[in-house]
Amino acid sequence: MERQSAGNLPKLFVLGDSISMHYGPFLKAQLNGFCDYERKMAPAGETADLDSGKGANGGDSSMVLDYLEKRFKEPTFRPDILLINCGLHDIKTDPAVGTRQIHETDYLANLTCIVELLAATGTQAIWVRTTHCVDAIHNSISTTFNRYIADLDAYNRIADGVMTAAGIPMIDLHRFTRNLGEDADLFRDHVHFYPAVCAQQAAFIAGCIVTMLGSRQLRGATASGA
């Protein structure tokens, strides 16, 4: 796919967790001339919090669903492509009682409602598979909540099933990131990645999006973007 003039670019809107916030600036730069980039931003006066799901963070699947239900009531919110992810906040586990922020059945229900909303609004989405965590690294740093790779894998499988059934293309950022090297060289804290890793994630995602646009896999974006 060749770069397009600014007026013909498909509008890409990103709604995701703090991982997407970190690779976002790189992604925006790499999609210059291919997509008009925008993402969820913090409301005026609200500070960013990478762990709570506030601000520019999409948060858990309930928060994502609530955000989309509100935004789609706005006539001007009609992205050509919605790059979407949630899962890391859903699996946050209370170390005192062992309960997750969003139970598996509720995660499934929320994702089902999200894809139904996307279908009803005619929105082309791309799902980004949730990046991994390492129990020993995460839970030795984070004191207020835990995450476990077994839960993350289970929630990725749930999302895989929902998105496949809905015909929504997926970008496997999970596998790509795990293939980049040793975990100690990837994580800068409990779950976030070093800037060099974020740049590689963005390049991978940008390549996938441009390829999808060029092959007309994205039905809602090809009219203006191909």
- Which has more confidence, 3 or 186? 186
Summarised one tens digit per residue, pLDDT across range 39-76 is 999 876 666 666 666 789 999 999 999 999 999 999 99
Fill in the amino acid letter for 41: M
The yes-or-no verdict on residue 223 having pLDDT over 70 is no
Q: Which residues does residue 49 pair with via DSSP β-bridges, in sequence order?
A: 54
The yes-or-no verdict on residue 226 having pLDDT over 60 is no
Q: Which residues does residue 14 pair with via DSSP β-bridges, in sequence order?
A: 39, 83
Contact 145, 92 (CB under 8 A): yes
Q: Which two tokens stand for residue 164?
A: 């496949």
The structure's pTM equals: 0.92
**Averaged pLDDT, 75-89:** 97
Matching residue, tokens 């791309």 = 126
Contact 148, 173 (CB under 8 A): no
Fill in the amino acid letter for 83: L
3-state secondary structure of 210: helix
**Best CA proximity match to 60, nearest among 121, 7, 23, 16:** 16
According to CATH, the superfamily of the domain at 6-225 is SGNH hydrolase (3.40.50.1110)
